[in-house]
């Protein structure tokens, strides 16, 4: 028999039904227009690709390799962003220090920079003549034409999602829980590992999922800093230039399916539904 400690109370979502009238109609109209704006291009893309064209695209070794590069490097980027971003998120959530607002602005800066501009800026640091790229070039490590360059470009544009999602999760925690752990003799590191992270894990995982989703679709920064090995967006762009809209559409649908499938699985994990279902099965 489980106690109340084993089953902490959860905040239930309450749904309210919109009444009739002008305001509900305006809400539904605005919502429908935005959803249609998002869905119509996707439907148009999918409808132009036949099963035979998708099979042909999937049989293309170049496209398969590009999809693999995108998934692999996006996953690596998500892991790095989480490892580096969670401590910064905790610092921003739990401490107020001189320059706090400036640090938060720096975290959000990649969200406001056009990604081609981000790629050019990264060249000054990680390019062959860059501040970091030039010394590493002498050791044989180049960010151009290398997976390292792809990951760096992906990380720059997606890191804010990891930091902000984890920060919001840490801010939602009751500081008294951490104080209680400290009063029982836990060190700050132990409190962070055993109390803060387990309580904020959904926000941390959500941030990792958003980083992955943003990274797998990145084009501008990747094509300028690394270009090769070609990711799926770069390959699709090259197909569009060389073979036209129809040939690139099939590859685009494949990327859409791969990205959507992996995103849904990771998002479901982040919401805790799969873990909750497994727990119910064990009971």
pLDDT of residue 3: 44
How does pLDDT run across 134-167, given as a tens digit for each residue? Answer: 888 888 888 888 888 999 999 999 999 999 999 9
Report the CATH architecture of 56-282.
Orthogonal Bundle (1.10)
* CA nearest neighbour of 192 among 117, 122, 90: 90
φ and ψ at residue 187, rounded to 5 degrees: -75, 165
pLDDT of residue 280: 56
Task: Using the predicted structure, report yes or no on whether residue 279 has a pLDDT greater than 80.
Answer: no
Domain ranges of the chain: 56-282
Please give the share of the chain, as a percent, with pLDDT higher than 90.
Answer: 22
0.85 cut: is pTM over it? no
Say how far apart CA 54 and CA 249 lie, in whole Å: 9
By 3-state DSSP, what share of the chain in percent is helix, strand and coil, each rounded to 5? 75, 0, 25
């Amino acid at each position: 028999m489980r106690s109340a400690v084993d089953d902490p109370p959860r905040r239930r979502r309450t749904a309210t039904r919109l009444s009739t009238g002008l305001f509900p109609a305006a809400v539904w109209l605005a919502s429908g227009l935005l959803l249609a704006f998002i869905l119509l291009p996707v439907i148009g893309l999918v409808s132009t690709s036949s099963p035979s064209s998708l099979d042909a695209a999937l049989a293309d070794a170049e496209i398969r390799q590009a999809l693999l590069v995108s998934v692999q490097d996006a996953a690596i980027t998500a892991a790095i962003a989480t490892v580096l971003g969670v401590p910064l998120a905790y610092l921003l959530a739990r401490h107020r220090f001189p320059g706090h607002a400036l640090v938060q602005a720096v975290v959000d800066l990649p969200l406001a920079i056009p990604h081609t501009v981000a790629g050019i800026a990264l060249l000054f640091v990680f390019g062959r003549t860059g501040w970091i790229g030039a010394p590493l070039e002498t050791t044989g490590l180049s960010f151009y034409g290398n997976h390292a360059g792809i990951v760096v470009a992906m990380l720059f544009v997606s890191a804010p999602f990891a930091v902000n999602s984890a920060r919001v999760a840490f801010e939602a925690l009751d500081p008294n829980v951490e104080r209680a752990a400290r009063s029982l003799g836990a060190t700050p590191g132990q409190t962070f590992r055993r109390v803060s992270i387990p309580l904020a894990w959904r926000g941390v995982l959500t941030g990792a999922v958003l980083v992955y989703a943003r990274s797998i679709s990145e084009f501008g920064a990747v094509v300028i800093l690394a270009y090769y090995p070609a990711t799926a967006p770069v390959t699709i762009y090259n197909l569009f230039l060389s073979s036209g809209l129809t040939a690139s559409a099939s590859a685009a649908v494949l990327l859409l399916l791969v990205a959507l499938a992996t995103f849904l699985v990771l998002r479901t994990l982040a919401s805790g539904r799969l873990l909750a279902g497994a727990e119910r099965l064990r009971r």
